[in-house]
Structure 1
């Protein structure tokens, strides 16, 4: 086995995604993923805690990116605008991975356990955003409301982004969804 070949994580991720798509998440084993990637199960577990983490390993990176963007927002930015800048920046990171995002979404949508895990990760992301706002001096309930609204905007824009056949721009869909939210809350 080519366990010392470069990009083991990427090869494992690709193998897992192929197998999850072909056979389903529940029917795929770690041994099969490792074999398809030309690696050992031990190598798999060096990179991922379990087969679910193949789908969720990037959430910490995305969370840190969001938090850093909130921290870097201008001091004069309203809480929702700091959140909007963060989720738009996160969308820009994902823009080039649209096909992967579609595939990942389909795998998660087909499995209740994975849908639950996705909701937990989004909840953690919202909590991290709210904490970032509190560090900027935003009080309650504004910090939690802005963070939750931001995650809702992100989810709605994401669904639109992966479901359209045209090469839509994810950050633009974030901006449009945020404008829709503002219109709804303004009573227009």
Structure 2
């Protein structure tokens, strides 16, 4: 069975994603995932609490990653800090993964529980961003508006990137979204 190979987590993720795409999230069982991966259900539960965690396993790292990313951006005008942070996130977390992210998005969109979980992830990201800005001395309203704007810009940019088959990079779409927002706010 090869269950002692060090790539068990990756094999389980790949098997789950294939099955989710083939037969749907709801119809896929943990035993089917482990059979496809050539592993045991016990091994699955060493890596994931349930099959949803295959899609959201790194969710717990989001607050730390977002706070670290914002802390590393040079202090300055908050919108430029957001732009720089989103560009860094795009380059480090998204570029080169377009096909996999499209597949994940389709799976999440197919199930109400997964969509709800994704909305929770979005809310957590906004809260971390809001608290980071509050920690930098911004008043609550400004911090909240900037945090929600940052998350919305990211989601809108990623959606545009995933929806198109051109060769634009995500960072270029983020820049376009920022320019559009600035023009709308000034116009």
Alignment partners' CA distance in 2, 1:32 and 1:160:
34
Alignment partners' CA distance in 2, 1:182 and 1:11:
44
Partner of residue 51, structure 2 = 51
Partner of residue 174, structure 2 = 174
Task: Report the Cα offset of residue 34 of structure 1.
Answer: 1.1
Alignment partners' CA distance in 1, 2:151 and 2:54:
22
Partner of residue 159, structure 1 = 159
Alignment partners' CA distance in 1, 2:168 and 2:38:
36
Name the SS for the 2:51 alignment partner: coil
What's the CA shift string for 1:62-87, capped at 9, x where partnerless? 44332212112222x12222222222
Task: Report the Cα offset of residue 51 of structure 1.
Answer: 0.6
What's the CA shift string for 1:89-139, capped at 9, x where partnerless? 111121111110000001111111111110110000110111111222222
Cα distance 1:59–1:103, how it changes in 2: closer, same or farther (>3 A)? same
* Unaligned 5+ runs, structure 2: none
Partner of residue 79, structure 1 = 78
Task: Report the Cα offset of residue 158 of structure 1.
Answer: 0.6
| Structure 2 counterparts to residues 83-162 of structure 1, below 5 A | 83-92=82-91, 93-162=93-162
| Structure 2 counterparts to residues 32-47 of structure 1, below 5 A | 32-47=32-47
Cα distance 1:62–1:98, how it changes in 2: closer, same or farther (>3 A)? farther
RMSD across aligned C-alpha pairs, in angstroms? Answer: 1.3
Aligned length: 186
Partner of residue 186, structure 1 = 186
* Unaligned 5+ runs, structure 1: none
Name the SS for the 1:3 alignment partner: coil
Cα distance 1:62–1:85, how it changes in 2: closer, same or farther (>3 A)? farther
Alignment partners' CA distance in 1, 2:14 and 2:57:
13
Q: So what's the TM-score if we normalise by structure 1?
A: 0.93
